[in-house]
Amino acid sequence: MSDSPDAAPSCYRHPKRETYISCQRCGRPICPECQTQAAVGVQCPECMAQGRASVPRRSPVRRVAAAMRPTGTPVVTYILIGACIIAYALQYLTGGALTQAWLMDPALAASEPWRLLTSGFLHSTAFAFPIHLLLNMYAIYVFGPALESFLGRARYLALYLIAAVGGSVAEVLNFQLVIATHGQIVEATGGFISYSASLGASGAVFGLMGALLVGRKAIGLRLTPLLIIVGLNLVIGFTVPNIAWQAHLGGFAIGAAVMAVYLATRRREHRPRQILGVAGIVAGLLAVVVVCVVTGAPYYH
């Protein structure tokens, strides 16, 4: 262990592991392996054992809820939910004009690139009951606070927006596949792979799930409940008709990638590398769109 005053603290149970996270109760530094999410912050194994001795056992559902409870007000999460609700109201008030202007149509990726992001704030108005909106907003409410508390507001917002764009880029790639096969893949897969316009925050939501899965140890979340939630959502995406599963996979992959960059550059002196890493992911997404547009020029408006 280094004697330098600038060195990171070491886990009290694993002296060779550096960490900036401390037990909420006793203050001792603990590495991700030793952390257990408490109602507020994380605790070391000894403090958790003492707490469990005096508190009745909670159900698995309540334990998951406690693990995802934020340590502060999740302002950005609430703003994102509010933005989607406002956009939904405007979709109605404009008679669908906003929907047509913002939804994700891969064929318009070149001429109207803002759709890569704006489509993530729209939701289907096809039903009298806003089930599409409510499901996505509930998912953001459940997954967002833990990430916002861990990453901070700016990094969390960047993760969300980039994951939303990643979901749209996956749809552009899907469109490019249809172009490259002259539509034959649509028939060959019975319509499973096909081209259509889409909308919804699902790409960003899956980005949050991907980020939580990658950062589960650092945040202090259990793996099994997360795998169950991610697995169920993936199954729904692949089995329920008219769901853009491509956006789900794209958002999930990009959310996981951004979180991996965050975790690899957690120290203050690594901040320039963090910015470059995240910017590189954004540049890569834009490069994919450019290549698709150039190679499939006749099909993009």
Annotated catalytic residue 4: no
Distance of CA 194 to the CA centre of its chain: 24
Q: Tokens 């003492």 appear where?
A: 50
| C-alpha dist (Å) from residue 291 to 107, 117, 221, 239, 248 | 14, 19, 38, 31, 22
Burial track 105-115 (b if 16+ CB lie within 10 A, e otherwise): bbbbbbeebeb
Kind and range of the H or E run holding 3: none
Residue 29 forms beta bridges with which residues? Answer: 22
Dist CA 136 CA 120 (whole Å)? 10
Whether 14 is catalytic: no
3-state helix, strand, coil in the chain (%, to 5): 65, 5, 30
24-29: long-range contacts, CB 8 A cutoff, minimum separation 24:
25/51
Burial bucket for residue 283 (CB in 10 Å: 0-12, 13-18, 19+):
exposed
| Catalytic choice (123, 124, 202, 270) | 202
Block residue for tokens 């792979």: 193
Query: What 3-state class would DSSP assign to 36?
Result: strand
Candidates 182, 248, 270, 301; catalytic one: 248
Active site positions, annotated = 202, 248
